[in-house]
Structure 1
Amino acid sequence: MKLTDKQIEFGFNYYFKAEHDQIKSIVEVSEYNGEEKLMINCTQLGDSFTHQYKTQKDKKRVVTEWCDFLSHNETAFKELHFGTRMPQELFDAVCKQKLLKRLEIKWGGYKDISAIENLENIELLHMGSGAGVESIKPLAKLAKLIGLSVENFQKITSYTELSNLSALESLSIEGDAFGPQYIKIDHLDFLSAMPQLKFFRLLAERLQSKDYSPVLLLKNLEHLSLSANKEVLKRYDQLLELPELKWGTIKNRPELYRK
């Protein structure tokens, strides 16, 4: 698999309503009808849309049934999306899906992501708002990973392990821009071992080294989006000269960097 131009221009996990609407969205296991692709929203129940789940027992039952199903039907899915909070037990159960090629999680309450190593066929992975994640070493073992997006990993300051992902074409590392909650990153030296990247996005971060020069080594970049801080502004003209650059804020939003 290779990323399409559309995925490189917008990001593999960009929300396109037409595409999103093609994926069935359900709450309970009883609604499942053999689909290989699914949107599961089985937590944060009891709001105006899911008012029938009134007690904690009702809500817990739904999650428990999904954990059981995912754990005992290991070849059911190739693509899963989770639009509500993912607790640790649900994450561990999802990671038993042997055929899963795409996984998108809006946000999670998990700390330990070691079970992700079981997803040997995963190609596209978005882990939204994982403030409790304690280690990203398991991600480095996903040999087939082509697109990776991680958000608000507050406890992670080094991303060096990701340089082992030789098939990776798209990498997005972000804090929570809406909070805002910024993440701290020690340095970007790991990029020197990732010349194959075509998409790189780094936003809502505090780079401790203040050195963005490793980005200039990414000669195959077609999309580049970076924070408009003073260190990036100093290198803006150099970044703009990356030979394959076509998309991203560096290319398409010059007003952000011409201050």
Structure 2
Amino acid sequence: MKLTDKQIEFGFNYYFKEEHDLIKSVVEVSEYNEEEKLIINCTQLGDSFTPQYKTPKDKKRVVTEWCEFLTQNQTAFKELHFGTRMPQELFDAVCNQKQLKRLEIKWGGYKDISAIEGLPHIELLHIGSGAGVESIKPLTKLKNLIGLSVENFQKITNYDEFSNLSTLESLSIEGDGFGPQYIKIEQIDFLNNMPQLKFFRLLTERLQSKDYSPILSLKNIVHLSLSGNKQVRALYDEIFELPKLKWGMIKTRPELYKN
């Protein structure tokens, strides 16, 4: 698999309503009808959209049934999206899906993501708002990964191990832009060993080294979005001249980088 031009221009996990609407959205296992792609929103129940789930027991049953199904039917899905909070037990259960090629998680309470190694065919992975995640090492075991997006990993400051992902074409490392909640990153020297990247996004971060020059090593980058801080502004003219660059905030929002 290679990223499409559309995925490079907007990001592989960009919300396109027309594409999203083609995937069935469910709450309960009973709604599943052998679809290979599914949107599962099985937590945060009992709101105005799901008032029928009134008690903790009702809500727990739904999650338990999904955990059992995902564990017992390990070749059911090729693509899954989770739009509500994902607890640790649901994360672990999803990682039994041996044929899964795409997984997008909006946010969750997971600390241990080591079960992700159970997804040998995963190509596109978004792990949203994982403030409790304690290690990124399991992600480096995913040898077919083309696109990776991690968000609000508050406990991670070193991303050097990502340079081991030799098949990766798209990488996004962000804090929580809505809060905003910034993440701290020691340095981005690992980019010097990732010349294959076509898409890179680094936002809502505090770079401890203050050195953004490794960005200049991304000679194959097509989409680049960076924070508009003074260090990036100082390098902007050089970054703008990267030979293949045509998309991302560096190109479309130049006013953010002008002194």
TM-score by length of structure 2 reads 1.00
Matched, 1:114 2:103: no
Q: Give 2:254's aligned amino acid.
A: P
Deviation by residue 1:149-206 (Cα, 9 ceiling, x = unmatched): 0000000000011100000000000000110100000000111110000000000000
- Deviation at 1:98? 0.1
Q: Give 2:201's aligned amino acid.
A: R
Q: Give 1:18's aligned amino acid.
A: E
SS at match of 1:90: helix
CA distance in 2, matches of 1:165, 1:256: 31
Task: Name the structure 2 match of 1:171.
Answer: 171
Could you list the runs of 5+ residues in structure 2 that have no partner in the other structure?
none
Matched, 1:250 2:228: no
CA distance in 2, matches of 1:180, 1:40: 27
- Deviation at 1:33? 0.2
Alignment of 1:96-135 (within 5 A): 96-135=96-135
Deviation by residue 1:17-56 (Cα, 9 ceiling, x = unmatched): 0000000000000000000000000000000000000000
Q: Percent same amino acid at aligned positions?
A: 81
CA RMSD in angstroms, aligned pairs only: 0.4
SS at match of 1:111: coil
- Deviation at 1:258? 1.2
Task: Name the structure 2 match of 1:161.
Answer: 161
- Deviation at 1:216? 0.3
Task: Name the structure 2 match of 1:145.
Answer: 145
- Deviation at 1:252? 1.0
CA distance in 2, matches of 1:258, 1:159: 28
Task: Name the structure 1 match of 2:56.
Answer: 56
SS at match of 1:225: strand
Matched, 1:46 2:34: no
CA distance in 2, matches of 1:121, 1:108: 22
CA distance in 1, matches of 2:191, 2:119: 24
Q: Give 1:233's aligned amino acid.
A: R
Could you list the runs of 5+ residues in structure 1 that have no partner in the other structure?
none
Q: Give 1:45's aligned amino acid.
A: L
| Segments ≥4 residues shifted beyond 2 Å | none
TM-score by length of structure 1 reads 1.00
Q: Give 2:226's aligned amino acid.
A: L
- Deviation at 1:10? 0.2
SS at match of 1:196: coil
Q: How many residues align?
A: 259
Deviation by residue 1:189-234 (Cα, 9 ceiling, x = unmatched): 1111100000000000000000000010000000000000000000
Task: Name the structure 2 match of 1:228.
Answer: 228
SS at match of 1:63: helix
SS at match of 1:158: coil
